[in-house]
Amino acid sequence: MQQYHDCPQIVREFLTYHETIKGQSQRTISEYYLDLRMFLRFIRLMRNDMPISTSLEDIPIKDIDLDFIRSISRTEVLEFLSYLANDRTPNPESAVPDCGIEAAARARKLSTIKSFYKYLTVRTKQISENPVADLEYPKLRKSLPKYLTLEQSAALLKAVSGPNEVRDYAILMIFLNCGIRRSELVGLNLTDIYEDRLRVVGKGNKERFVYFGASCRKAIDAYLVERNKKVLSDNRALFGSRDNNRISVTAVHRLVKKALLQAGLDSTQFSAHKLRHTAATMMLAGGVDVKTVQEVLGHENLNTTQIYTHIENTELKIAAEANPLSKLDFSEHEDSSEPRDESDE
């Protein structure tokens, strides 16, 4: 926790709890740290009656104690959310900086604050009042996740080339067949490969098995011939980099973008995470029930998985409209003089 030295002790204890007890990833811990640091700096800024133009980076918070945290009101939290929506500049270095950050980013910061107060009131019982217990999240614009069609997926696989072709092809096959997260792929070890499935360590260090088909098995086998000739710095790793280290999340991001460009696909619209969406959509299109897809993807909440059922409904609508009979006009055969029989409606 040395990297969080500029935060109050109570915040560092919260971060340690989520790292050691809850098993959260380092990325999640870092996001909690940044969100809480910004929140507490804002509260101190407002209480000291400084101009809103004062940089939050200049506000010290290391000496903040439990009494300060306890004194924060619901109104002050709402003022912070208002600041994020109207005054916070996401990219101050741009030629014409925008003011206000998106609802999803505001919701994440509120989620951090809620988690912090839940830790203080429920987990450790250091305070009794929770000012954000019933605070609603910003309304998010609902949009369907982007995904590749079957034809685009095939084009992506076919386009893979270069010195790491066998490795990259295996990685893309795993993404498209198994729908695992990028971080989960990076964490795969040689011992996690079984005859027809992968052992995956997901969020919160939760383990699950994800099965794959014959084509994916073939791609993995082809890569293993190459992998077994290499010695990596972490020789447990399934996928290695060109400098013989475990492959990184950044490297996976780059190889996916490269393959998308080679396939003539829009690399700004698709990513490794969109391949996860693609796998989920293909599973539902193949008749897999949503509960099973939830288990495959490692979603804790079924509602997270159900977004893909909306995609599938869209596919069904397209399929119905593609039926030649849907374009025929039968109106001339209708006899408006006869009464409608509504007995079956």
320 contacts: CB under 8 Å, gap ≥ 6: 326
| Residue 197 β-bridge partners | 211
Report the alpha-carbon distance of residue 78 to residue 243 in Å, rounded: 48
Cβ atoms of residues 290 and 263 within 8 Å: no
Neighbours of 88 (CB within 10 A): 20
- Apex 170 CA angle, 160 and 28, nearest 5: 105
Length of the chain: 345
| Residue/partner pairs of 59-65 with CB below 8 Å, 24 or more apart | 60/6, 61/6, 61/7, 61/8, 61/37, 62/5, 62/6, 62/7, 62/8, 63/8, 64/8, 64/10, 64/40, 65/8, 65/10
Report the alpha-carbon distance of residue 206 to residue 183 in Å, rounded: 13
Nearest CA to 239 out of 173, 166, 167, 178 is that of 167
Q: What positions carry a catalytic annotation?
A: 181, 203, 273, 276, 299, 308
Cβ atoms of residues 88 and 101 within 8 Å: yes
Q: Strand runs (DSSP E) across 172-319, as ranges? A: 197-201, 207-211
Token reading at 222: 């082809």
What distance, in Å, lies between the first and last C-alpha atoms of the chain?
66
C-alpha distances (whole Å) from 282 to each of 3, 109, 176, 178, 303 are: 42, 33, 9, 10, 18
